[in-house]
Structure 1
């Protein structure tokens, strides 16, 4: 009962959790005890829930971070900062938050390591890489991915970055990102956070007044810039636009004879995806966290997850009931920070981007689209 109530954000959940036998709660139930305590600002309960978790759960970045935040709220700053310092080296959402809590922030991205001609030539000769590229060019994308992943297994950083560069040159952006993400010591952030179709993209983001770093961050999470794909759920293209959403947008734009297959077209996909993103941003009071959640899970759910009072954006995100949407919003907002840095934009920290989520209103709770 407590677990189900917590996932509904029912305040009675904390009353029931207080009465529960903690030893009989499984890790997911304990996680939602911590989340609901976090939502209520009950830091002692957050610490109690984390202490009750199995050791493997306590070591997750999520709970290491929120334990640090709870300790700091309780005045145990030295212990909190030690936990944050250990997390701050992670290239992750929680690593970014930990850095910012320690007074640091992401600056200009470090210099990239660029593969030289010799390294590129060596990668191009690998039979597995050649087979993968051939399969990709023949439209056998998933077979190509399997072949590519086998070919790069065990490669050192310089070879991985050469492979990532080769994928990028062949417009295989998801493999470029995936491969560049695997490096340990040498990095190329331009390959981790690529900006394909920049002029087309910015034509729409500027027309609609959207933050291009946020839009790029969202697309990186949606599809890794795979333009001609259709998901198992039926969403099309780089911005993963659903057919029903496409029909709704076409009607709004006065487009006659719309067919869902047109969503594969790059220009149409970006036009429709950015239009819908602007629509949900307007519905969500210009709060990008809410709009990101709405793009993934729908405006009604994103609005329903708000509290009656304002709350920190990081708390809203942590207490999103859908695991997929929670991770999605974390990745998109984290990506946006790196993209803004790569564009040389004014620094907006992750915590600033998460902001404060305004209290729910009747209008936004009933919004659709």
Structure 2
């Protein structure tokens, strides 16, 4: 979520040496300086910054000052800043920006010096790193750099320069150009694909009008195939059109592949396209997705295609296909908890109990969705730890004196939330469990609940579940849950995911408050439940927000009949949640894993896993996640009319 200003609390944390300020005057000057930095106005920035002597955010003021003129800065000035603010987020951030400036200048000695201290990951800086090595005649960099070529997006400036060098040194071939163009078309990056084609000689390049038609009107091009497809460019444009067509209508694309495309394209291209058709079909739960995947034969599928092949197989209970698709994934993908769990389930379904237990044991004990499911496959139900680590006041005081945490909370207090979150994440990156829990408690006391939850979630051995799963406004949630006949643990699990219990949270789409209500939804529910004199500005008022949010959740649950469906509907809309059901009943975990929208898929898993722990906290009873997930009913009669459709 993207959050705006947070005014409901007033926590002022300052370094011991910092002088007292008139709060409003200092705040106004700091915010004005920040606005001037974002606007690139160095004179205005200087005018406001000079009013902030020895401010708690002095490192940020210095960063903004240097960053405003970084393109013209000298190495000595930047080195001085990095030395003065060593091991801080602002130093890491400025170092990354400085590395890009040095790369553009080709000042490789200074670049290498700073790169050795840079710990973050940035594609453009990696590209400049390879260019630096090539400047020292390190030819191995050319081989390493070739992986960059297939990034599914427009390449940044440093990588463009490197790509040109790879082409000139014949490390990128015509085949590689067309491979990149396909990857970009698969990901909807049409402009970047056109730029990649610029490497081809004029006689090898495709017709521009045909390429435009492949991108914008693929069906039209496929209905009128070029008479002459002997040249590669002509064939590739047809393949690109088929990629786009499959994305829009996989069934129609499959029919086109049957004939005449199959007769006009090389067998390898046909099988490649069947892999794309299967992938797009799986994403819309088409019943023929697995059949179309099979027609791809031994064509290499990427991890995303294989993931959707697994999901299609899960909906058909084809456990052999589940195992086969996971076997073909990269080592990194195979280690993901989702595929570890489903591989274990596939082995169990095929009678390999010992092997399945080995896979479940790899993720059992984790508190996420698949960790909980793996526990239950092994015969255990997750419960709260018998003991929780409670930080001492001394530990909390140490956290309060940490300059990075202090700056982060001050930035968040001022409404400069994104910068504050980044400072917080950088500061806690090497904390042990005890320090994490102390930092989480510090954030809780400052009412910065998203940082408290996230930080407490990171512990490995010492845990504090009251910080991981806070029960803020308990009486309000309890009363409204009872009023609407909802499970309080489920409601709290949903709110933890929606807003992290931040009362005035606002999303970029306009959702507001604890339960992230859209304006139209809030107005609709207010009218339905007879809430008189409702005004849109009231939506962040806690009782109003919770009353409207639980009222809507009850409407969705009554209409859809299942908490997993209602959770999906709360995030993506009731019509989508219904559409994602199957012709036959589905295991709840399979429904959740096969939700087409990645955000909603992750959301539903987290809401249901949250509900397990909130059940233990508020009901003082252990509820298996499989009980909560249950079975999703099949699509059937009784769908709501247009007038009954919920927003």
Conserved? CA contact 1:227–1:266, under 8 Å: yes
The separation in 2 between residues aligned to 1:22 and 1:230, in whole angstroms, is 47
Which residue is equivalent to 2:467? Answer: 191
The separation in 2 between residues aligned to 1:32 and 1:119, in whole angstroms, is 46
Which residue is equivalent to 1:70? Answer: 346
The separation in 2 between residues aligned to 1:314 and 1:365, in whole angstroms, is 25
Describe the SS at the equivalent of 1:362: coil
Instruction: Give the alignment partner of residue 494 of structure 2, picking from 199, 209, 218.
Output: 218
Describe the SS at the equivalent of 1:119: helix
Which residue is equivalent to 2:645? Answer: 368
After TM superposition, give the deviation of residue 202 of structure 1 in Å.
0.8
The separation in 2 between residues aligned to 1:318 and 1:147, in whole angstroms, is 33
| 1:92 and 2:384 are equivalent in the alignment | no
Conserved? CA contact 1:304–1:365, under 8 Å: no
Describe the SS at the equivalent of 1:24: coil
RMSD between superposed Cα atoms in Å:
1.7
After TM superposition, give the deviation of residue 146 of structure 1 in Å.
3.2
After TM superposition, give the deviation of residue 256 of structure 1 in Å.
5.1
Which residue is equivalent to 2:627? Answer: 352
After superposition, give the CA deviation of every residue in 1:60-96 in whole Å (9 maximum; x if it has no partner): 1111111110110000111011111112132321111
- Which range moves more in the overlay, 171-180 or 85-94? 85-94
The separation in 2 between residues aligned to 1:348 and 1:269, in whole angstroms, is 27
Which residue is equivalent to 1:103? Answer: 379
Conserved? CA contact 1:108–1:344, under 8 Å: no
Describe the SS at the equivalent of 1:83: helix
Describe the SS at the equivalent of 1:343: helix
After superposition, give the CA deviation of every residue in 1:90-115 in whole Å (9 maximum; x if it has no partner): 23211110110010111343311111
1:180–1:25 distance in 2 versus 1, CA, 3 Å: same
Which residue is equivalent to 2:583? Answer: 308
| 1:11 and 2:306 are equivalent in the alignment | no
Which residue is equivalent to 2:451? Answer: 175
After TM superposition, give the deviation of residue 48 of structure 1 in Å.
1.4
The separation in 2 between residues aligned to 1:162 and 1:13, in whole angstroms, is 50
The separation in 1 between residues aligned to 2:584 and 2:322, in whole angstroms, is 20
The separation in 2 between residues aligned to 1:319 and 1:266, in whole angstroms, is 34
Which residue is equivalent to 2:161? Answer: none
The separation in 1 between residues aligned to 2:330 and 2:417, in whole angstroms, is 40
After TM superposition, give the deviation of residue 344 of structure 1 in Å.
4.2
After TM superposition, give the deviation of residue 324 of structure 1 in Å.
0.9
The separation in 2 between residues aligned to 1:83 and 1:336, in whole angstroms, is 25
Instruction: Give the alignment partner of residue 299 of structure 2, picking from 17, 23, 28.
Output: 23
The separation in 2 between residues aligned to 1:127 and 1:87, in whole angstroms, is 36
The separation in 2 between residues aligned to 1:185 and 1:72, in whole angstroms, is 30
| 1:291 and 2:566 are equivalent in the alignment | yes
Instruction: Give the alignment partner of residue 613 of structure 2, picking from 338, 350, 364.
Output: 338
Q: Provide the TM-score with structure 1 as the length reference.
A: 0.95
| 1:165 and 2:441 are equivalent in the alignment | yes
Which residue is equivalent to 1:153? Answer: 429
Conserved? CA contact 1:23–1:52, under 8 Å: no
| 1:119 and 2:395 are equivalent in the alignment | yes
The separation in 2 between residues aligned to 1:128 and 1:33, in whole angstroms, is 45
After superposition, give the CA deviation of every residue in 1:120-139 in whole Å (9 maximum; x if it has no partner): 22112223333333333344
1:137–1:33 distance in 2 versus 1, CA, 3 Å: closer
| 1:79 and 2:355 are equivalent in the alignment | yes
1:327–1:365 distance in 2 versus 1, CA, 3 Å: farther
Which residue is equivalent to 2:308? Answer: 32
Describe the SS at the equivalent of 2:638: helix
Conserved? CA contact 1:22–1:52, under 8 Å: no
Which residue is equivalent to 1:244? Answer: 520
1:46–1:227 distance in 2 versus 1, CA, 3 Å: same
The separation in 1 between residues aligned to 2:402 and 2:482, in whole angstroms, is 42
List alignment gaps of at least 5 residues for structure 1.
Answer: none
Describe the SS at the equivalent of 1:23: coil
Describe the SS at the equivalent of 1:363: coil
| Equivalent pairs, count | 368
Q: Provide the TM-score with structure 2 as the length reference.
A: 0.55
Which residue is equivalent to 1:320? Answer: 595
The separation in 2 between residues aligned to 1:147 and 1:94, in whole angstroms, is 30
After superposition, give the CA deviation of every residue in 1:146-201 in whole Å (9 maximum; x if it has no partner): 33334333222222211111211222111111111122221111100110110111
Conserved? CA contact 2:440–2:452, under 8 Å: yes
After TM superposition, give the deviation of residue 257 of structure 1 in Å.
5.2
